[in-house]
């Protein structure tokens, strides 16, 4: 039967084997990205700061994840200016390219919490009458049929306003 070890604090594990543990490598990489993000955030317009995050920086390529496709597009317009500013920092001295990608995971989480669509409101009886009158004189048959279908969404009718098709 294997010997069960007591749980240890992360700092204790890091002190024991600080250079060769994968945990220390992960923490070092996270700290490195945090420092890079602080530099990048300094040069981003305020509107971008809450929608864009650094994903990685490797071989001169900085990858930024954006909340949505629209933010990715907006960021691409700003990327050239950002590239110029970042090259002044020694951390980004080898910067060649900045890519903006859409964070699909954020999109899938956002779609989970979308509100349910509201129910369509009924149109008034007066508007139903106007739609049917317009359908009656409309020469385009497809438009006339569409107006009649739209008129069907009216609230309770006070009388028989159903106007038949005229060809």
pLDDT per residue as tens digits for the range 11-22: 665 565 555 567
Residue 163 within any structural domain of the chain: no
Report which of 40, 142, 25, 16 is spatially closest to residue 88, judged by C-alpha positions: 40
Is residue 108 located within the same domain as residue 124? Answer: no
Q: Supply the pLDDT for residue 98.
A: 92
Return the half-sphere exposure (C-beta side, CA atoms, 13 A cut-off) of residue 144.
13
Is residue 100 located within the same domain as residue 46? Answer: yes
Residue 53 within any structural domain of the chain: yes
Least trusted range by pLDDT, from 14-23, 80-89, 126-135: 14-23
With a cut of 50, say whether residue 63 has pLDDT above it. Answer: yes
Q: How far is the CA of 54 from the CAs of 30, 62, 103, 104, 160, in angstroms?
A: 11, 8, 11, 14, 64
Q: Which domain holds residue 152?
A: 120-156
With a cut of 50, say whether residue 71 has pLDDT above it. Answer: yes
Is residue 23 located within the same domain as residue 72? Answer: yes
Residue 8 within any structural domain of the chain: no
Is residue 22 located within the same domain as residue 78? Answer: yes
Is residue 91 located within the same domain as residue 134? Answer: no
Is residue 29 located within the same domain as residue 104? Answer: yes
Is residue 139 located within the same domain as residue 97? Answer: no
Report which of 49, 52, 43 is spatially closest to residue 81, judged by C-alpha positions: 43
The rounded distance, in Å, linking the Cα atoms of 76 and 98 is: 8
Q: What is the mean pLDDT of the chain?
A: 77
Residue 39 within any structural domain of the chain: yes
Q: Identify the residue with better confidence: 165 or 124.
A: 124
Q: Supply the pLDDT for residue 6.
A: 52
Q: Supply the pLDDT for residue 39.
A: 92
Residue bearing tokens 């508007």: 127
């Amino acid at each position: 039967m294997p010997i069960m070890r007591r749980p240890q604090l992360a700092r204790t594990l890091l002190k024991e084997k600080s250079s060769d543990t994968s945990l220390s490598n992960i923490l070092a990489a996270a700290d490195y990205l945090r420092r890079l993000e602080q530099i990048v955030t300094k040069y981003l317009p305020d509107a971008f700061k809450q929608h864009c995050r650094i994903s990685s920086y490797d071989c001169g390529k900085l990858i930024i994840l954006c909340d949505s496709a629209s933010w990715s597009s907006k960021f691409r317009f700003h990327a050239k200016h950002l590239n110029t500013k970042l090259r002044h920092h020694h951390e980004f001295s080898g910067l060649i390219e900045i890519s903006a990608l859409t964070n699909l995971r954020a999109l899938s989480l956002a779609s989970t919490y979308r509100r349910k669509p509201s129910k369509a409101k009924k149109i008034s009886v007066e508007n139903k009458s106007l739609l049917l009158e317009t359908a009656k004189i409309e020469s385009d048959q497809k438009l006339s049929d569409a107006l009649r279908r739209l008129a069907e969404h009216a609230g309770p009718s006070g009388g028989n306003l159903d106007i038949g098709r005229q060809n």
